[in-house]
Amino acid sequence: MRNQRVYRNLMQLHPGEDAGQLTRSYYKGKLRTCLLIFLVGIILGVAGGEDGLLLFLLVAGTGVAVFFLLDKDLEQKNEERKMEMRKEYPGLVNRMSLYMEAGMTIRGAFLRIGSEFAVGKRAENPLAMELAIACNNLQSGVSEAVVYESFGRRTGTQEYTRFCSILSQSLRKGSVEICARLRQEGDRAMEDGLRLQKKRGEEAETKLLFPMMIMMAIVMLLIMIPAFSGMEI
């Protein structure tokens, strides 16, 4: 299960690369790091005399923690990537709806959006990388249905999977209702975006609360210590 999560995170963080090779390299790097930590622990244990065993156990425990924390860090990076993509989602859906209502085909609208994301600051966004891969596949002759389904799967988010499902279904059933469905999805994306912004604001407030509590505790100690010192005198 853990291996599958690592594989999925690496595949999504490095689109277009060999996820199997990335996974093998990732685990080799983890193993080297942990072995180095254990080696340091052995050296400290031998040189530490009476406290050597304690030092070794502390360092070994750190090595075990690092082994699992590296996976956590990888997952956190992927969550940040998904968050960046979710921020762009309402704009993507609204653009697709606009171009479809203007008479463009699904393929033409998708390629147009991909070219817009390939320039400027947006080119650094994870969505731009995924769009570039999808557009290259389209231009290489891969069928639209396969491209859209792969695009949604690579993003790893429900929003983009839903969007690609709309595109794929429209290819099979015809594009008569796609504009209406895209408008509905655009409205839903805007509501989800507002909820996401609210959630991020609450999380930011929570993160600020902990340092403030520490500062208050320090201030209270600075006040109380002289007071107690005076009482002892």
The position carrying tokens 């406290």 is: 51
Q: Are residues 28 and 10 in contact, defined by beta-carbon separation less than 8 angstroms?
A: no
Do 191 and 96 fall into the same domain? yes
Whether 122 is covered by a domain: the verdict is: yes
Is the same domain home to 67 and 96? no
Q: Is residue 200 assigned to a domain?
A: no
Q: Residue-wise pLDDT tens for the chain (233 aa)?
A: 667 888 888 888 887 788 788 888 888 898 888 888 888 888 888 887 777 788 788 888 888 888 888 888 888 898 889 988 988 999 999 999 999 888 899 999 999 999 998 887 777 889 999 999 999 999 999 999 999 999 999 898 999 999 999 999 888 877 678 888 888 888 888 888 777 777 666 665 666 666 667 777 777 766 766 665 555 44
CB neighbours of residue 126 within 10 Å: 19
Alpha-carbon distance of 9 to 174, in angstroms, equals 34
Residue 88: CB atoms within 10 A of its CB come to 18
**Structural domain includes residue 145:** yes
pLDDT of residue 233: 42
Q: Are residues 39 and 138 in the same domain?
A: no
Closest to 178 in 3D by CA, of 90, 93, 113: 93
What's this model's pTM, rounded to 2 decimal places? 0.71
69 in any annotated domain: yes
Q: What's the confidence (pLDDT) of residue 159?
A: 92
* Same-domain check for residues 163 and 190: yes
For the chain, percent helix, then strand, then coil, each to nearest 5? 90, 0, 10
In a domain? residue 221:
no
Looking at the fold, whether 76 and 89 belong to one and the same domain comes out as no
Domain that holds residue 152: 85-195
Quick one: 34 and 103 in the same domain? no
Would you call 139 helix, strand, or coil by DSSP?
helix
Domain check: are 171 and 102 in the same one?
A: yes
Domain contains 227: no
The confidence score (pLDDT) of residue 53 equals 80
> Is residue 32 located within the same domain as residue 103?
no
Question: Where do we find the tokens 């008479």?
Answer: 103
Domain membership flag for residue 114: yes
Residue 222 belongs to some domain of the structure: no
Cα–Cα separations (whole angstroms), residue 99 to 41, 52, 95, 109, 179 = 62, 69, 6, 6, 9
Q: What is the reported pLDDT for 9?
A: 82
The domain boundary residue, chosen from 43, 58, 80: 80
**How confident is the model at residue 230, as a pLDDT?**
57
Alpha carbon distance 168, 116 (integer Å): 22
Q: What is the pLDDT of residue 175?
A: 67
